[in-house]
Amino acid sequence: MRSAIIVFALVHLAAAGCSGPKIGTMTGYDNTDGHDDKHPGSLMEYDHTTPAFWANVNAVSIYDRDWSQWKYHNIIINYKGKNVTVQSWDACTNADCPEDPQCCTHNAQKFAKPGFLVDVEKRVLKSAFNITNYNDVMNKITIYLCDAFDHQAVANKYHLSN
């Protein structure tokens, strides 16, 4: 009986496929604005994002320090008691910071070290969290890092190019 319970617990953990919780930072940006995103309309490896893509995919940007390990993963953001699953498609690079030359590092480490940055596009902020003032967002969040997803299939569905 006891071993059956342990096996069940292990299967349950593997199925969830998430690690955490960890403390992170949520910020906001506009993917269409060249002032806010040095490569407007583009993600790390795909170009030509469309309204349909942003309406259906909770794409976010993460700190480029974390990109090689956590690119194209599902990430659960817990904010104000609500879980929302987002997907890492893009990266925040200090070289692209407009004012603070260390913006990605500083934002990632705002509430914890090493911290974890989730920079959320304005349309996802609105649909997922009902937040409209994306420029003012600098919020403490709890995150869970989960499984990888098939980015090529999603890119094909929304006709992104690379």
Ligand X SMILES: *[C@@H]1O[C@H](CO)[C@@H](O)[C@H](O)[C@H]1NC(C)=O
Contact residues toward ligand X (CB under 6 A) are: 16, 18, 76, 78, 81, 83, 130, 144
Q: Minimum Å distance from CB 33 to ligand X?
A: 22
The Cα 107–Cα 118 span in angstroms is: 9
Q: How far is the CB of 58 from ligand X (least distance, A)?
A: 15
Query: Measured from the CB of residue 60, what is the shortest distance to ligand X in angstroms?
Result: 16
CB of 85 to ligand X, least distance (A): 9
Nearer to ligand X, 78 or 93 (CB): 78
Question: Which is closer to ligand X, CB of 54 or CB of 144?
Answer: 144
- Contact 158/54 with Cβ under 8 angstroms? no
Concatenated DSSP letters for 1-25? -HHHHHHHHHHHHHHH--EEEEEEE
When the beta carbons of 56 and 83 are compared against ligand X, the nearer one is 83
Q: Are 62 and 155 in contact (CB under 8 A)?
A: no
DSSP β-bridge partners for residue 139? 26
Look at residues 150, 43, 32, 31 and name the one whose alpha carbon lies nearest to residue 91: 43
Is the CB of 103 or the CB of 125 nearer to ligand X?
Answer: 125
